[in-house]
Amino acid sequence: MTKNNSLLRDIAYGMIGGAVGTVVLDCVANLMYKFESEEKKKLEEHARKEEPTEVLARRISENVLRVKLSNETKSKLGKAIHLSVGIGMSGLYGALHDRVPALSKASGLPYGVAFSLVVDEGLNTALKLTPPPGDFPIEAHLRGLLAHLTYAATTDRTLHLLRRIFG
């Protein structure tokens, strides 16, 4: 396999892994949320009026397309953005997997930590998709970190499985 084909294969396998990983991330985050106290849930809901991906969907529709979205459409677009980010970031993981080995140690857990810190804690705040991290209870941060660790591990294991099956 040529170097370019190998890179494209790794990106594709990473993206497939990211689709699976994003579903697992959502399951883990939703399960953890169910066990949080009502007080912590209210604090988080007070800080975050909309999901970050819904904020982005609303901004794009209103400021670029000049269209006002219904709540249902905004929710659907937010979910599509969430899945797209998960798939796109895992394509990057696939590209970096063998080329930056430190990120793929321990089934990709360093990548999961980096993703959580850079995207969830950093970019969401910098782009004003969410309030600053200090506005949220620690449980929200821990849930996000654990969910991103499972996303990364799922992405990594899927990538390895696809390599084993298809080369």
Torsion of CA 133, 135, 140, 146, to 10 degrees: 10
Q: Which residues contact 103 (CB under 8 A, 6 or more apart)?
A: 93, 96, 97, 110, 111, 114
Residue boundaries of the structural domains of the chain = 3-166
Alpha-helix residue ranges (DSSP H) falling in 35-137: 38-47, 52-59, 71-96, 105-115, 124-126
Beta carbons of 15 and 94 less than 8 angstroms apart: yes
| pLDDT tens digits in sequence order for the chain, 167 residues long | 788 799 999 999 999 999 999 999 999 999 999 999 999 999 999 999 999 999 999 999 999 999 999 999 999 999 999 999 999 999 999 999 999 999 999 999 999 999 999 999 999 999 999 999 999 999 999 999 999 999 999 999 999 999 999 99
